[in-house]
Amino acid sequence: MKQDVLHSPRARRRRVNDPEGTKRNIIEIATEEFAGKGLSGARVDDIAARTKTSKRMIYYYFGGKEGLYIAVLEAAYRSIRSVEATLDLEHQEPERALRTLVSFTWDYQNAHPEFIRLVMNENILNGAFLSRSRTIQRLNATAIDVLRDLLVRGQRKGAFRSDIDRWTCTCRSAPCAFSTWPTGRRFRPSSSVTWARPGRWPRAGHRWSR
């Protein structure tokens, strides 16, 4: 009965009249599927069966499974960066701003386990699909620039150590170490082991502030 309602002429008219709503619905369901099953385990048939549209429309809007997966990643990163942009870090003292950012990162990841799973899945794939998205690269570059400016302000005021760079701070400011950041043309996985490099990345207990 439910499928009959979803694929009735009235439902099809609603899809045609609200393409953005249809795409949001597809991405919402696809996020759950990809987060729970990964790229290889998720199936477009299953996603279509749970949405208010058809498999044909998924291919029409996103071009296929990989295109949909990238759209899901972009939506996930757009969400966290849009909230992050409201933190008003530039008007806070550096140490307070850093605490605000760390607290936000922890709270957001705790409230959005699907984001954690998506990033973990993408780390397994060595950031292959993040590297194909200019949208995500732009979003993350903006976030890194904000962190860089925060560090510079803190270093000028003597609040932060002068030998801490933005990559070190990026690594340590994600409490669960679940963030994938672009480094030029490659992406560094976010686990503590793969981030660590002798002579460059700090060990546990490393102090940022003086």
In this structure, the answer to whether residues 79 and 174 fall within a common structural domain is yes
Q: In this prediction, what percent of the chain has a pLDDT beyond 90?
A: 46
Residue 102 inside a domain? The answer is yes
Residue 6 inside a domain? The answer is yes
d(CA 42, CA 80): 23
In this structure, the answer to whether residues 49 and 80 fall within a common structural domain is no
Beta-carbon contacts of 155 under 8 Å, excluding residues fewer than 6 positions away, are 161, 162, 164
Residue type, position 117, single letter: R
What does the pLDDT read at residue 4? 52
What does the pLDDT read at residue 202? 39
- Left (φ > 0), alpha (ψ -120 to 50) or beta: where does 8 sit? beta
Question: E strand or H helix at 188, and its extent?
Answer: strand 186-188
pLDDT band at 18 (very low <50, low <70, confident <90, very high): confident
In this structure, the answer to whether residues 80 and 154 fall within a common structural domain is yes
What does the pLDDT read at residue 194? 27
Between residues 155 and 2, the one the model is more confident about = 155
For residues 157-185, give the mean pLDDT.
Answer: 60
38-54 residue pLDDT tens:
999 999 999 999 998 89
* Residue 170, burial from CB neighbour count under 10 angstroms (0-12, 13-18, 19+): buried
Residue 11 inside a domain? The answer is yes
> Nearest CA to 62 among 51, 82, 114, 77?
51
Residue 68 inside a domain? The answer is no
